[in-house]
Structures are given as structure tokens and as C-alpha cells.
Amino acid sequence: MPLLSLDALSLRYATGGSAAVDGLSLSVEPGEVVALLGPSGCGKTTTLRLVAGFERPAAGTITLDGRVLVGPGTFVAPEQRSVGMVFQDYALFPHLSVLDNVTFGLSSLSRRDAEEKARAMLTLFGLGDFAARMPHALSGGQQQRVALARALAPGPRVLLLDEPFSSLDSALRASTRIEVRRVLKSLGATVLLVTHDQAEAMAFADRMAVMRSGKVEQVGAPESVYSSPRTAFVAYFLGGTNLLPGVGFGGGARTMLGNLPVSGSAKGKVLLSLRPEALKLVPDTDAVAVGGALRAEVLSREFQGAFAEFTVACGGLELVVRGVAELPLRPGDRARLEVVGRAGVLEDTPD
């Protein structure tokens, strides 16, 4: 049984306006980290607010650990839901010490027991020596971990994280993300995370739900969703792709790039997703293509650190190719283009 179930949730902020959340259904298993991922305005934060009880849906149900929180004639107040939440700005109390921030939600315990539990939680996050400090004396990463300790101290059944790493610089974001995931997994915490960062969702979550216009477009393990996107939207949003129409013949498809191997099976007219890393460029000074490779012209190059992205013209198409940064190709150069990976078959209808 899922610990948290969202069933056909819908919410409109204005009568007659578009739905912020539109018939959304999702389940979260005990101890699982699930990321809601999508562009701004897709409804992911609204979904989080519905689970927290800060918004009331027009339709649908929310069930937590077998208890209906929201449904026909039922609405459980936020403070009675056993849900913890960490906001994007952490929302620490500036006039309270780190220790007092964490003990704030432990009013049902004696002061001694509350402090003991708070100190244990701070130690778990590597903040045992910072209990007496005020929030302004902490770094961004430390403030974030205090906010997590405060949210987890009361033992919520599910933890909600709203863009928790967005205010950190890129280097600190990566290291903090690893440490936070380690702690959450050690506690067996059930987590629903909202983010617009694809890399963050893929690295942090056990499963991710890609959202679009208030709906879940695709849900699954990060590796599965990335390698087998169902739609062009998901393929583009998770790292970019090249779209190719083709005609399937089982394990392959005929395209303008020739016959391409596909993941799964293709039949009839299909739309294919070919990731930039599924293509390879080789400098070409010959007048004709060699070994069946295609001729291409480099239109642009974008340096990305560990790799470079090239836009090339080939066979009447503009394609994006991801290659090593050291590849000696610049705009105007000729190259040979090779397909080194498989294409995914999308559900979208080709033009």
C-alpha cells in the first residue's frame, strides 16, 4: 500500500481560468523519495501545498497512511496532518537559536526531552556544535539543514521539500544534496520534493513525476524516464533531444538519417527521440562520407565544461550533438556524423 495517495486532484485559482492542478493522481511508497519536476507554472508547488493543507482542492482525495486528509466532506487542518515542510527560503525563526528552532515543533514533549531529541537531530545533520548559534550566523547550507532538522524532529509521516537547494551555489548544492539524501535515507523518511532542476531530480529522487499544465506527463525511475521518454515534452525537458519522423519496422525505423535502431519496437509512422549523446561527430576533411557515415556541417558550438554541444546541419535537418569538449570542431567545419545509440519511440503523432 502507498503511504501517500493523491487521486484526481483538481484546483483552479480563478473561476473560468485554467486549472493549476488538473485531475492529478500520484502515489508515494513508504521510505521513497519522489520528485515533482516541471517548468514554472506546471502546478508542482500547488500540488505540494494541497498535500500540506495550505490549499483546498475543488475535487479529488488525499490519503496518508490510510487516513483521508482531503475528500468529499473531509478536510484535515495542516497542523493535524503529520506532514513536515521545508520552504524554499527555509523560514527559520530569526530570533531563536538553532536549538530553539528545532525544538519549536516538539511542544508535546518536556523541555528536556525536546532538547535531547533536537540535539540528536542536529548531530545527524552534522550541526551538533551549532545549537547555540542564531540563524544569521549560519551559511546557506547550514540553514537548510536546520530547517530539515526542524521539519523532521516531530516525526512526520511525509516530508515536503519546496525547491530546497535552489538558493545554494552550484558546488554547495551538489554536496549538500548528497548529504541530505544520505540522512533522509538513514531515517527511512518518505519525501515529496518539488524542483525545476532536472539534474537535481534525477540525482536525488527514487522516482520522478514530470508535470505539464497541472497533469503528470510521465512518472518512473529517473533512468527509465530519461532513457524512454513517452512524449516529446518529457524528452526535451530532461536534457534535450532530436526529434525525427520515421517509419518503423520492428527493432528499427527508416529516417532521414538512414535506418536507426530503436528501444523497444516501432511500427508504421512514428516520431523518434534521439538524444544528443546518441550521435557522434568526427572531423572530416574528405570530399565524401567514409564508412557509411553522414556528412554534416557544424553550425554552432557551446562549451559546457566536461562536454560541448554542437548544432549541425545534416540531411536537411538541424541536430544537436553532445561530444567531448576537446573535439576540434568550430562553426563552418565539416564533420562525419555517426549514430551510436538507440532512438526512443514517442507517443506523439508525427507531422
- Supply the pTM of this predicted model: 0.90
Same domain, 159 and 223: yes
**The cell 540563524 sits on which residue?**
135
Same domain, 206 and 272: no
- Residue 351: its pLDDT value, please? 73
Same domain, 165 and 283: no
- Give, in order, the Cα–Cα distances in Å from 341 to each of 239, 262, 274: 15, 9, 8
- Residue 292: its pLDDT value, please? 57
Residues of the chain with pLDDT under 70: 285-292
pLDDT tens digits for range 292-325: 578 999 999 999 988 999 999 998 899 999 999 9
Same domain, 122 and 77: yes
Contact criterion met (CB below 8 Å) for 275 and 236? no
Same domain, 286 and 187: no
- Residue 232: its pLDDT value, please? 96
- Residue 16: its pLDDT value, please? 77
Residues 6+ apart with CB under 8 A from 234: 210, 217, 218, 225
**Whole-number Å distance between alpha carbons of 100 and 248:** 63
Boundary of a domain, candidates 216, 232, 248: 232
Q: Which three cell numbers stand for residue 218?
A: 510521465
Same domain, 150 and 92: yes
CATH classification of the domain holding 46: 3.40.50.300
Boundary of a domain, candidates 232, 251, 282: 232
Same domain, 250 and 329: yes
Give the chain's domain count: 2
Same domain, 69 and 164: yes
Contact criterion met (CB below 8 Å) for 279 and 293? no
CATH classification of the domain holding 274: 2.40.50.140
Output Rg (C-alpha) for the chain, integer angstroms. 24
Strand 4-11, strand 191-195: pairing:
unpaired
- Residue 174: its pLDDT value, please? 85
Q: What angle do CA 112, 116, 117 make, to 5 degrees?
A: 120
- Residue 140: its pLDDT value, please? 86
Same domain, 123 and 205: yes
Boundary of a domain, candidates 213, 232, 251: 232
The boundaries of the domain holding residue 327 are 240-351
Same domain, 157 and 109: yes
Same domain, 255 and 226: no
Contact criterion met (CB below 8 Å) for 61 and 7? yes
Same domain, 218 and 343: no
